[in-house]
Structure 1
Amino acid sequence: MTLYQLTLFSIRDKYDNLIEHVWELYEQLYFNTGNLTYITKISNNYKDLIFKLEKLNNVDKALDVTTVSKVLKDAIVKQKKTFDALLILQKKIDRDNRDNLIFKHINAFTDLETILLNNNNRNYIKILHRLNTNITIYPYERESTFQRIQDDIEILKSNSFAESYINITKELIDVELQIKNDMGKYLLSINSIDPILDKNFFQATNMQRNELEAIKDKIKNMMIKLFTILGTVILFIIFIVIKMRKSISKPATIILRTMEKMSSGDLTEKAEYNFDNEMGHICLNINSAIDTLKTLILNIKTSSEQSGIMGTIINDISTETSTAMTEISANLNMITTQMSNLVVEISNSNHSSNLISKKAEEFNNLVSDQSSALEESTAAIEEMIASIQNVSNIATEKGRIADSLTELTKVGGEKIESTSDLIKEVSILTSEILEVINVINEIASQTNLLAMNAAIEAAHAGDAGKGFSVVADEIRKLAESTGDNSTKINESLNIIVKKIEDALMVSNDSNKAFESVNIEVIDLTNSLHEIASFMTEMSTGSKEVLGAASALAEITGDIRDGAGTIRNETVEISDALTKMDSLVSEINSGIKEVSLAGEEIAGSTETLSVESSKNMDNAKNLNNEADKFRI
C-alpha cells in the first residue's frame, strides 16, 4: 500500500466523523431554513479532494519502482496537517454551550413574562414577545434582525425586572456570532485545500514527466549493456570452445545447453558446474549474467507498465489542455466581437460628448432661471413657517383643553359607575323587603284562619263565647286589613323594583356612553397632540428647507461654474476617445496574435497526444517482448 493510499484512508475516516458532526450542527442551526449552502460546499470540496488525491496516488504508483518524491511526501504531510486543523476548528464550535444558553434564555423569558403579566405591563409584554421572535429568527436573518434586537433591548432596560433576561440575550447573540465566525473560518480552511492540491498535482505531474524521461534513458542504457554483455559472453564462449574443446567438453555441453535456453528466452535454468577452475568461473559468470538479465527484463516490464500509465495521464492532460484552448479561442473571438462593439460605443460616446457640450450651455441658461425661482420660493417658505407656528400654538392650547375634558369625562364615568352600584344595592334591599312582605302575607293568612276557627268555637260556646267571638272578629278584620295592606305594599314594591331596573339599565347605558365619550375625547386629545407635534416638525422642516434653499442658491452658482467646466472637459473627453479608438485597434491586433498562438498550442497539444499514443504502443510492444522471456 502506497503512502497516498494510507493518506486517503486516513482522510476518509476523519471526514466521516467531521461531516457527521457538521450535520448535527446544521440540523440545530439551519434546519428550519432549508439552507444547504454549508453542507453542499463541504461535500463538493471533499469529492474534489478525493479525486485529486486519487490522481496523485496513480502518480505515486507509477513512481513506486524508484521512490516517492519529496514533493509528494511534503504534500501529504501538509494535507494531513490541514485536515487535523479542520478537526480542531470544528470541535471549537461549542454546541453544548449554545444549547444551555437557549435553555436559560427560555426560562428567563418565561419568568420575565410572568412578572410582567402580574404587574399588567402590557407594553413591555408586547416588546418582550417581539424581541423573542427576532431572537428565534436571528441565526437565519442576522442582518435584518440585529438592529431590531438592539432597539428592543434598549427599551427593556427601563424595566428593572428585565436585567437577567437582557444579559442572557446578549450572551446568546455573542455565541451565535461566534458560531457564524467559526463556520466562516471552517469553510475558509476547507477552501484553502484546493490551491494546495492544485500546486502539488502540478508539481507531481512535472516530476512524473521528468522521471518518465529518466526511465526511458535508463531503459536505453540497460539495453545497450544487455547486448554488450550478450555479445561479450557469446564471443568468450566461442573462444573457449575452440581453444579448449576436448578438455572442457562436459562443462561446454552444460554451457551450450544453458546458452540455448537463454537464446530461446528461458532464463529459469542455470549452468550447474561447481568446480573451482576456469570453466567453473565461466559458469558462475554466466549465472550472474542470467540473474542480471532477469533483473533487467523485470525492470523493462515495470518501466513499460509505468510508461503506459504515464502515457494515459499525459493523454488525459493533453485532452484537457485541448479543451481549454478551444474555450480560450472561443473567448478570444467573443472579446474581438466585444472590442468591435466598443469601437462603435466610442464613436457614439464621442458624438454624445459633443451633445453634452451643447446641453451644458443650455443648462447654464436654465440655472439662471432657477436662481430667480429660488428667491421667490424662499419668500414663500418664510410666510409658510409663520403660518405653521400659529397653527402649532393653537393645536397646543386645544390639546390642554382636551386633556382637562378627558379628566372630567373620567370623573363623570366614575360617578355614574358609583350610582349604578348604589342602584344595584337598593334593588337587592327591595328584593329582601318583598320577601318580608311575603312572610307577612302568610302570617295574615294564618291569623285569618285562626280567627275563623275561634269564631266557630265561640258560636259553639253560645252566650259564654260571645266575648271571645268579638275578639276573634277583630282579629279577623286585622288579618284581612294586614293582608290588603301587604298586597298593596307588594304591588308598590314591584313597581319600585321595575323602576329600579329601568334606572339600572339607563345607568349602564349612561356609563357606556361616557366610556365612548371618554375614548373619543382621548382620541381627540392624541390627535391634537399629534397635530401640534407634526406642526413643530413641519416648522423645523420648513426652516431646514429654507436653509436648503439658501444652500441651493449657492450650489446653483457653483453649478453655473461647473457647466462651463463640463463644456471644457467634454472637449478633452472627445480627444481621449479618439486616442482610445486607436488603442482598441492595437488591442484587436494583439488579440489576433494571441488567437494564432492558441491555435499553435492546440496543434502542439494534438502532436503531444499523438506522440503519447505512440509511446503507449511502444511500451506495450516492449512489454510483449519482455513477456517472451521465462524468468
Structure 2
Amino acid sequence: MVIIDTNVTAVAHSDHIKLGKVYDDDYTIDGCTRGNIKTSRFWADVQNTWTYDIMYPIYKDGKLFGSLDVGIPESGILEIQNEIIRVQIIIGVLALFLATIFSWAITLLITKPLAEITKILRNISEEEGNLTHRLKVSRSDELGQVALYFNKTLDKIRNSVNAVAEATKGMKEVGGILSASVNTTVNSSEKIIANTGNMEEQILKQNDEIKKTTASINEVFGSIEKLKSNIDSQANAVEESVSAVTEMISNIRSISEILHKNTDTISSLGIETGSAREATAQATDMTKKISEASSGLMEASAVIQHISSQTNLLAMNAAIEAAHAGSAGKGFAVVSEEIRKLAEESGIQGKTISTVLKNLKKDIDKITNDFDTVQKQFYNIFNLAESVKGQEEVIMHTIFEQNTGGEQVLEAMSEINTITADVRNGAEKMLNETKSVSEDIAGLTATTDSIDQSIREMTDTLTEMASAVTALQEADDKNNANIETLINELLQFRI
C-alpha cells in the first residue's frame, strides 16, 4: 500500500525503502493529478504473482491531495474466496438436513387429519353416503380450525339435503297438479283454435263478398264519374261555344263598323287617287319639258368644248410665233400661255358639264318613265278602289245576315247551356251519393280486414300458446323425471 501525492511522489509506503519514489507513468499520473479512480491487474516480479491494483483519490481540505494505491495479490483473494465457499457449503448441508427433519414432522402433523377427512369424503362420495360422520376436534391450531369448519360444513350439507328432500316431495305434488292443468289447457287451446279457424273462414267469405260489392260499386262510381266528366266536357264545350258565338257576333259588329269606315276611306281614296293621277300627269309633262331643255344644254356644252379646243390651238400657235420672235416675243408668250391654260380649264369644265348634263338627262328620262308607271298604277289603284267598294257592299250585306243568324244561335246555345247545367248538377249529386256508398263500403271493408287481422293475430297467439303449452307439458314431463331422479339420488345419503 502506498500514498502518492499530486507530484506523483510516494509520501507513504509499506516498504520504507520506496518512500519518496516518483511514479511518472501515465497510469499513476492520471489517478494522482486528475483524481480518477484507477484499477488494473499486473504481474509483480518481487512477489512473483498476479496482483490487482486499485487507486482511489484522497482529498485534503477539499483539494486533491493524491491517491491511495493498494495492491492485493491474486493468490490472497483466491484463498479468501475458497474459504467463503467452504463455509457456505457447510451451512447449506446443515440447513438442508434441518429442513428435511422439519418438513417430515410438519407432514406428519398435516397428513393425519387430512387422511381422516379423505376417509369421510370417500365414504360420502363412493360408499354409503353417510353424512353423520364427524372429525375429532382436539387442537386449537389451524388444523383444529380446519376440522371444526369441516364438521360445520357437513352439518350444513346434511341440513341442505334434508331441505332438498322435503322440497322435492312438494315439487312432486305440485308437478302432478301442474300436469293436470297443462293437459286441461292443451285441450281448451285446441278447441279455441278450431273455433277461431271456423270464424276466420266465415270472415274471409264475408270479406270476399264485400270486395265483390266494392268492385261493383267502384265500376258504377267510375261510370258515373266518366259520365260526369263527359257532361263537364260538354258543358265546357257549350260555354265555349256560347263565348265563341258571342265573340263572333261582337266581331261581326266590329267588322260591320270597320266596313262602314272602309267604305268612306275607299271613297276618299278614289278622290285622292284621281287628284294624284292628274298631278302625276302634270309632273310627267313637266319632266318631258325639262328633258327637252337638257338636250339644248348638252348642245351648248358641246359648243363650249369646241371653243375651248380652238382657243387651245390658237394658244399653241401664238407660243410658236413667240418662240420665233425671240426676246421680243416673251410678253406675247406669257399671254399665250395664260390663254392656253384658260382653254384647257374651259375644256375640262365643258367636259364636266357635259357629263353632268348627260347623267341629269338620264335621271330626268328615268323620272319621266317612272311618272308614266306611277300614272298607270294610280289608274289601277283607282279601278281597284272602285272594285273594293263594290265588294264592301256585298260583305256588308253578308255580315248583316250573319249577325242575325248568330243572335239566333246564341239564344239556342243559352238554352242548351241551361239544360247541360241541370244535367251536370244531377250527375254530381248521383256521384256524391255513390261516393258516400263507396266510402261506407270501404269503411266496412277496413273493419272486416281489421277483424280478420285480429282473428289472424289471435290465431297466431293461440297457436304460439298451444306450442308453449305443449313445450310446458314436455318440460313438466322432464321435470317429473328429474324429480324422480333427484329423489333417487337423495335416497343414497344417510341423514
Note whether the superposition's TM-score is higher than 0.5.
no
Q: Which has the larger radius of gyration?
A: 2
Which of the two has greater helix per residue? 1
TM-score between both structures, scaled by the size of structure 2 = 0.30
Which of the two has greater strand per residue? 2
TM-score between both structures, scaled by the size of structure 1 = 0.24
